Amino acid sequence: MTDLLVKPKGITGKVHDVTPESAGWSYVGFGLYRLKAGETVAEPTGDREVILVIIEGKAEIGAGDKTFGVLGDRMSVWERTPPAAVYVPNGSDWSATATTECTLAVCSAPGKGEHLAQVIGPEGIGQVTRGKDANTRHIHPIAMEERDVADSLLVTEVYTPQGNWSSYPPHRHDEDDYPNMTFLEETYYHRLNPAQGFAFQRVWTEDGSLDETMTVEDHDVVLVPKGHHPCGAPYGYELYYLNVMAGPIRKWRFKNHPDHDWIFQRDSQP
What is 182-227 written as a DSSP string?
Answer: ---EEEEEEEEESTT--EEEEEE-TTSS-EEEEEE-TT-EEEESSS
pLDDT of res. 214: 97
pLDDT at residue 72, as a whole number? 97
Phi, psi of 148 (to 5 degrees): -85, 75
Say how far apart CA 90 and CA 85 lie, in whole Å. 16
Virtual torsion, Cα 235, 216, 25, 186, nearest 10 deg? 30
Structure confidence at residue 2 (pLDDT)? 61
Would you state the pLDDT for residue 92?
97
What was the pLDDT predicted at 204?
Answer: 97
Architecture of domain 5-267: Sandwich (2.60)
Is 258's pLDDT higher than 50?
yes
140-148: average pLDDT:
97
Q: What is the rounded CA–CA span in Å between residue 145 and residue 167?
A: 18
Name the 3-class secondary structure at 51: strand
Q: Compute the average pLDDT of residues 131-151.
A: 96
1: pLDDT strictly greater than 70: no
- The string of DSSP codes covering 102-147 is EEEEEEEEE--S-S--EEEESTT---EEES-GGG-EEEEEEE-TTS
State mean pLDDT over 179-185.
97
pLDDT of residue 247: 98
Q: What is the mean pLDDT of residues 72-87?
A: 97
How confident is the model over 197-209, as pLDDT tens digits? 999 999 999 999 9
- What does the mean pLDDT of the chain come to? 96
* Rounded Cα gap, residues 48 and 259, in angstroms: 38
In this prediction, what percent of the chain has a pLDDT beyond 70?
99
